[in-house]
Amino acid sequence: MTAPEDDRQFDSLLDYLQRTRGFDFKAYKRLGLMRRIQRRMQVVGVDGFGTYLDYLEVHPEEFPQLFNAILINVTAFFRDQPAWDSLAADVVPKVLATKKANEPLRVWSAGCASGEEAYTLAMVLSEALGRDDFCNRVKIYATDVDEDALNKARLATYRAPEVACIPTPLLSKYFERNGDRFTFDKDLRRCVIFGRHDLIQDAPISRIDLLVCRNTLMYFNAEAQARILARFHFALCPAGFLFLGRAEMLLTHSNTFTPVNLKRRIFAKVPKVSLRDHLLIMAQTGMEEAPENHLFNHVRLRDLSFDADPTPQIILDANGTLLMANEKARATFNLNPKDLGRPFQDLELSYRPAELRTHIGQAQAQRRTVELKGVSWMPPGGEARFIDVQIVPLIDIAGNVQGLKIRFEDVTGYKHLQAELQQSNQELETAYEEIQTSNEELQSTNEELETTNEELQSTNEELETMNEELQSSNEELRTMNDELHLRTEQLDQVNAFLESILTSLQSGVAVLKKDLQVQVWNGRSEDLWGLRSEEVQGKNFLNLDIGLPVEKLRQPIKASLSDDGAPTLVTVDAVNRRGRAIRCAVRCSPLVGHDKQVRGTILLMEELDGSRPESPYGH
Ligand SMILES: C[S@@+](CC[C@H](N)C(=O)[O-])C[C@H]1O[C@@H](n2cnc3c(N)ncnc32)[C@H](O)[C@@H]1O
């Protein structure tokens, strides 16, 4: 099948699972999901996702097996112990510090599998709070999408190998032993609430102080991870913490969660305070009522402000009479009090440093500010200066030009700086081009590094999921192995029993296969004919070179191998291992299997002594 066809069939299978069972597996990492489904396909012996879909339609009992394979439930108490140690030592005290005495504490174990993680949390918190406080204040919401896992979690009872990783003092403090079963403390158990919750589809639980979601996010693709993390952000209180699994990093979510202990994957919520809210608070605190009835003060202050302004400026009325000149203007242009009230055009300032009269007329007529930039001026006895002149019409509320303000801004320093800047700019430009080239190279290296980093993260998650899959297969193999051991022991016992029967028999016993190869040769046979079991096994009985005239047995053996074969007895002259002539009775009996088919023949060989009758077996 072509890869696109395979992909299409896989998508149809996922659609089918969503439509019929309500599971949205599209949110899971595709490759891992394919691998796990393919494993199920191998077990039921179908090839191709399309065929598997058909199989599911006629075998609904396959669904639970499939979901078991997809939703890996691998878990453990205190899984990744150093991370739990950090949580207990650094985070739990911080969570408790944000709470008043007796204030409730809400914890969420999301993807709790069979409950080990939720009960670990209960033990850690009970150690921090004390048993009574824990029972009064703490609620642990433990959720998973897998009902079977939740049912096991609700029982709160585990086998010895499952509790082996709980530190002994905690095990004896929090579990009651019943044979090889350990049941979690009943009082603490009441504070753990289990429920089905799908991280992809269901609304989050709210006002959570500590959210534990370990080794679950890594099964989801990046888009679903982002969606779940946004919900977790909503779920947490402003001072809440998030505790993830060893392979889960939150590389691209630094605006919502900030690391508290990155190595142990513990994060704090970034409580979002918007700039707007911040400004609103600022505005409220700054809103003090202005003192009334101080118009006079205002005018005086305005005049003082005008006079003290470091930029030289003058005010003309609508007829061109000089009304005001601030201190800096008076000093710079040598104006004296007698000049106030004179027509501006009579003053030197009206044409030096720049011819202003026409521009004044223009500002007045066009009712807009006129600007003259970089006017050069040589003050008497001083150095050359550059001045920007602004002629601003003063327009009242009715739209009439009441006068003009003229500002003379000394931009000499600025001009010098500009020239220097131009020079530096050119130098900078050259340097900039060089830097830009290096920058582009750096940027592309950086992007590559970022991609590699993300790929590494994803590979890491992928490895961790494969590890869990392996762990789950390992457990299955271990169970099979235990069974095999048991069977082997039983087989050993049966073999030993058979061996002791064969050894205890006073007759020589030889068991032959249908092709007359020797299969069993007991101790008495060795004793009679002087060949060890290893020497005869697998050899054709009729080719054995022993003191028994085997040729004479050909016929009875053949007879016993026939379908209706009956036991026959033959007595022959033979020579035993010591070279003594003996009479030997040989009984050939068919070896019949479970299926009633003849599988070979059993020969019983007994030396007859003179005192005994010819046939030790009777006829
Ligand atoms: C590997 S276990 C992790 C158990 C535990 N948190 C730990 O770290 O030991 C992953 C769990 O995630 C659950 N899970 C998978 N998809 C889920 C979903 N959409 N919503 C909730 N739980 C989900 C599985 O059922 C499984 O129990």
Determine contact, residues 87/127, Cβ cutoff 8 Å: no
Show the tokens assigned to 31: 């490759």
Indicate whether residue 199 lines ligand 1 (CB < 6 A).
Answer: yes
Report the residue among 144, 147, 152, 467 best suited for mutation to probe ligand 1: largest number of ligand atoms under 8 A from its CB.
144
Q: Whose CA is nearest to atom 2 of ligand 1?
A: 73
Going from the Cα of 483 to the center of ligand 1, the distance in angstroms, rounded, reads 29
Strand order in the sheet with 105-110: 192-196, 138-144, 105-110, 208-213, 236-244, 266-269, 257-261
Q: Whose CA is nearest to atom 9 of ligand 1?
A: 75
Overall size of the chain counted in residues: 619
pTM of the model: 0.59
Indicate whether residue 198 lines ligand 1 (CB < 6 A).
Answer: yes
Q: How many CA atoms lie within 13 A of 22 on its CB side?
A: 7
Indicate whether residue 606 lines ligand 1 (CB < 6 A).
Answer: no
Going from the Cα of 21 to the center of ligand 1, the distance in angstroms, rounded, reads 18
Indicate whether residue 111 lines ligand 1 (CB < 6 A).
Answer: yes
Indicate whether residue 145 lines ligand 1 (CB < 6 A).
Answer: yes
Indicate whether residue 315 lines ligand 1 (CB < 6 A).
Answer: no
Show the tokens assigned to 592: 């019949």
Report the residue among 23, 87, 140, 145 best suited for mutation to probe ligand 1: largest number of ligand atoms under 8 A from its CB.
145
Going from the Cα of 538 to the center of ligand 1, the distance in angstroms, rounded, reads 57
| Residue whose C-alpha is closest to residue 214's, from 194, 199, 196 | 199
Determine contact, residues 190/182, Cβ cutoff 8 Å: no
pLDDT at residue 284, rounded to an integer? 27
Q: For the chain, what is the radius of gyration of the CA atoms? A: 50
Report the alpha-carbon distance of residue 104 to residue 95 in Å, rounded. Answer: 11
pLDDT at residue 521, rounded to an integer? 95
Q: Whose CA is nearest to atom 13 of ligand 1?
A: 111
Report the alpha-carbon distance of residue 457 to residue 439 in Å, rounded. Answer: 26
What atom in ligand 1 is closest to the CA of residue 28? 16
pLDDT at residue 300, rounded to an integer? 59
Indicate whether residue 475 lines ligand 1 (CB < 6 A).
Answer: no
Report the alpha-carbon distance of residue 608 to residue 585 in Å, rounded. Answer: 7
Report the residue among 107, 216, 265, 469 best suited for mutation to probe ligand 1: largest number of ligand atoms under 8 A from its CB.
216
What are the 10-residue block averages of pLDDT along the chain, 619 residues in total? 86 95 92 95 96 96 93 95 97 96 96 98 98 97 96 97 97 96 98 96 94 96 92 94 92 82 94 42 30 47 82 92 90 85 91 92 92 90 90 85 93 88 81 76 80 82 88 87 91 90 90 95 93 94 93 92 85 92 94 90 87 42
Going from the Cα of 254 to the center of ligand 1, the distance in angstroms, rounded, reads 24
Indicate whether residue 225 lines ligand 1 (CB < 6 A).
Answer: no
Indicate whether residue 115 lines ligand 1 (CB < 6 A).
Answer: no
Indicate whether residue 146 lines ligand 1 (CB < 6 A).
Answer: yes
Cis peptide before 353 (omega within 30 of 0): yes
Indicate whether residue 215 lines ligand 1 (CB < 6 A).
Answer: yes
What atom in ligand 1 is closest to the CA of residue 23? 19
Name 423's Cβ contacts closer than 8 Å, sequence gap at least 6: none
Indicate whether residue 468 lines ligand 1 (CB < 6 A).
Answer: yes
Sort strands 208-213 and 236-244 into parallel, antiparallel or unpaired.
parallel
Is residue 236 exposed (0-12), middle (13-18) or buried (19+ Cβ within 10 Å)? Answer: buried
Indicate whether residue 75 lines ligand 1 (CB < 6 A).
Answer: yes
| Residue whose C-alpha is closest to residue 134's, from 76, 194, 174, 181 | 174
Going from the Cα of 25 to the center of ligand 1, the distance in angstroms, rounded, reads 13
Q: Whose CA is nearest to atom 7 of ligand 1?
A: 75
Show the tokens assigned to 288: 């003090």
Going from the Cα of 259 to the center of ligand 1, the distance in angstroms, rounded, reads 23
Indicate whether residue 216 lines ligand 1 (CB < 6 A).
Answer: yes
Going from the Cα of 239 to the center of ligand 1, the distance in angstroms, rounded, reads 25
Sort strands 385-395 and 401-410 into parallel, antiparallel or unpaired.
antiparallel
Name 17's Cβ contacts closer than 8 Å, sequence gap at least 6: 23, 25
Indicate whether residue 79 lines ligand 1 (CB < 6 A).
Answer: yes
What atom in ligand 1 is closest to the CA of residue 75? 9
Indicate whether residue 394 lines ligand 1 (CB < 6 A).
Answer: no
In terms of phi and psi (left: phi > 0; alpha: psi -120 to 50; beta: otherwise), the region of 275 is alpha
Indicate whether residue 165 lines ligand 1 (CB < 6 A).
Answer: no
What atom in ligand 1 is closest to the CA of residue 199? 20
Report the alpha-carbon distance of residue 87 to residue 94 in Å, rounded. Answer: 10
